Amino acid sequence: MKPTLFALLAAGLFSTGALAQVTVTDPWVRATVPAAKSAGAFMQLKSASATRLVGVSTPVAGRAEIHEMAMENNTMRMRAVDGIDLPAGQPVNLASGGYHLMFFDLKRQLKEGETVPVTLVVQDAAKKRSSVTVEAQVKPLTYVAPAAQGHGSGHGQHQGH
């Protein structure tokens, strides 16, 4: 299904200001093996005005966090961050090797072909928070997203796990 359809479906549940503010494109989650306790989620975000992604949740996980892959002392490390700036009108990619979402304490296996609800919390310059929920497609364990169009997270990595 197309992300715009999900945005239209979510319009009845969330303030229209939030929907006009942030557009979510191609949300997906990597499938898991049966015993896995974590999974990564990826998408592209674009905000009409300067906004900040400050939270994430999903009913399939005990907790969800915003993460960044970055070089520290010549080693690539993943760490939680308190948010990601979404500059006005510029796409921000949440992709392998850069900013992404992590789901921990999974409540069940995530199987290829299903969808997973993901709620994003954004905060505007006036510190007003709003939520946008999208349905993320579960992709195969071996899936590699195509190179995104437009500006990215600056990391240039589109492969990996």
* Per-residue pLDDT tens digits for 89-105: 999 999 988 999 999 99
152 pLDDT more than 90: no
What is the pLDDT, as a whole number, of residue 74?
A: 85
pTM over 0.85: no
User: Among 44-53, 88-97, 112-121, 147-156, where is mean pLDDT lowest?
Assistant: 147-156
More confident site: 104 or 74: 104
The mean per-residue pLDDT over the stretch 8-27 comes to 59
Which pLDDT belongs to residue 65?
97
Cα torsion 145, 36, 114, 3: sign: negative
In the three-class reduction of DSSP (H, G, I as helix; E, B as strand; rest coil), residue 6 is classed as helix
- pLDDT, residue 138, reads 97
**What are 115's two structure tokens?**
């969808």
d(CA 161, CA 154) in angstroms, rounded, equals: 18
pLDDT attached to residue 140 = 94
pLDDT for 5 equals 40
Mean pLDDT of the region 10-31: 68
Q: DSSP label at 24?
A: E
Residue 147's pLDDT is 67
CB-based contacts of 110, cutoff 8 Å, min separation 6: 29, 30, 31, 32, 36, 39, 60, 116, 138
- Could you say which DSSP state residue 48 is in? S
Average pLDDT over every residue of 51-72: 94
Q: Is-contact 110 116, C-beta < 8 A?
A: yes
Q: How far is CA 79 from CA 47, 51, 68, 120, in A?
A: 24, 21, 6, 19
* Rounded distance between C-alpha atoms, residue 76 and residue 23, angstroms: 29
Question: What does the pLDDT average to over 114-124?
Answer: 96
pLDDT at 160: 37
